Amino acid sequence: MIQTENLSKNFGDFLAVDGVNLEVKSGELLALLGPNGAGKTTTMRMLTSVLYPSAGWARVAGFDVVTQAQQVRSSVGILTEQHGLYGRMSAVEYLDFFGQIYRMHADVRCKRTNELLEQYGLAGDAKRKIGEYSKGMRQKLALARALYHNPPVLLMDEPTSAMDPESARLVRNAIHGLRSDNRAIIICTHNLAEAEELAGKIAIIHLGKIIIAGEVQELKNRLLGAPQFEVRLGVNATDLSDSLPDEVTLISQGQGWFQFRTNKPVETNPQVIQALVSKNIPVIGLAEIPRSLEKVYLQAVSTAQGNHNRIDLENTMTTGGESQHAG
């Protein structure tokens, strides 16, 4: 649905985006992460045919962003960082205005407006001036605008930036609801927890280059090592190294607990429990030690800043990682 190859953009001497390769299929949601000025917004604008690439190419919903710009714009819904609403209009007028721009028939516009306002809980305030809306309401209205023409591609730039936690939650829930088999979504965000919650894939962009990309769990494995688990025991076991399978690496242990690392938790975690039970060591619980996306991000950015070498994991964008869960 979204495909780019060597996508680059320069403004005069400044190279804002440098050879970005991305692929997002229908039903996927990619989070594009990166510090301020990394090139996220410029990439989004190129994918909307608002800015033209200086080099490389991109296809969105099957259309070329340069030669079929108008078709691209018709196929994309965009939620910009600044919601860009008109304060003196009501929500109904605003959505209807965009419906006209997208050449939708009056009956369809009326139906779609009511449907979206109802969906995002704005029906009760439909006739109020947008200038009187709260930040969360505005963002939801902007989201409704982006979805108004039911686009197969949705691009969202900082969808919850500067919002209070409650409003951000409302918008996040709305984004959750947008994932479908026939829609590809990219969100740009600084909020790593949000990216982890919403996105199946992430790509980190730094100084215009994609420094790492792939499925969240896979990237954690690559950058932070194999998943780590903690086992709580019913007794104080002292030497456990002989009791555990070979694929498991013991990291640390204390009274009534130990932590281990494994590359294949689906296979090894049941074996760990089996081994402990067979030795009459009661197991109270086994859980994965949470590893935040923040660690992945900081690790990737510091690596990039340290040696400016690209960690080329582009292939991971299309292959998909192995499903890994605690046993």
Partner 1 sequence: MLDNIRPALIITRRELRDQLRDWRIILPIMLLTLLFPFLANFTTQRVLGFVEKYGANIIAERFIPFLLMIVGFFPITISLVIALESFAGESERGSIEPLLSSPMTDTQLYLGKLLASLLFPLTAAYLGMIVYLIGIYRSTDWKAEPMFLILVFSLTAVQALVMVSGAVVISTQTTSVRAANLLASFIIIPVAILIQAESAMMLWADYQILWWAVLGLMILASLLIRMGISHFNREELLGREIDTLNLRWLWEVFRAEFVGQAQSVGEWYGREIPRTIRRMAIPIFWMTLLLITGTYMGAALANSINIIPGSLPIDNLRIIDTQVLDQFRQLGFFSTSGVLTAWWHNLRAVMIAVLLGSFTLGVAGALILMLPMIIIGFFAGLVSLTGFSTITVLTATLMPHGIFEIPALILAGACILQVGASLVTPYRKETIGESLMSSLADWAKITLALVAPLFLGAAILEVFISPLLMVRLLGI
Binding site for partner 1 (CB under 8 A): 11-13, 45, 48-52, 70-71, 73-74, 76, 78, 80-86, 88-89, 93, 97-98, 100-103, 142, 145
Name the residue nearer to partner 1 (CB basis): 60 or 301: 60
Residue 129 amino acid letter:
K
Name the residue nearer to partner 1 (CB basis): 51 or 192: 51
Axis-axis angle for helices 165-178, 135-147 (nearest 10) = 10
Name the residue nearer to partner 1 (CB basis): 188 or 276: 188
* Least distance in angstroms from the C-beta of 84 to partner 1: 4
Contact 89, 142 (CB under 8 A): no
Give the Cα separation of 69 and 103 in Å (integer).
17
* Least distance in angstroms from the C-beta of 11 to partner 1: 6
Name the residue nearer to partner 1 (CB basis): 84 or 270: 84
Contact 262, 208 (CB under 8 A): no
* Least distance in angstroms from the C-beta of 112 to partner 1: 15
* Least distance in angstroms from the C-beta of 249 to partner 1: 49
| Chain centroid offset of residue 95 CA | 27
* Least distance in angstroms from the C-beta of 28 to partner 1: 21
Name the residue nearer to partner 1 (CB basis): 97 or 257: 97
Residue 3 amino acid letter:
Q
3-state secondary structure at position 163: coil
Using alpha carbons, select from 74, 105, 79, 109 the residue that is nearest to residue 93.
Answer: 109
Which residues make beta-bridge pairs with 212? 204
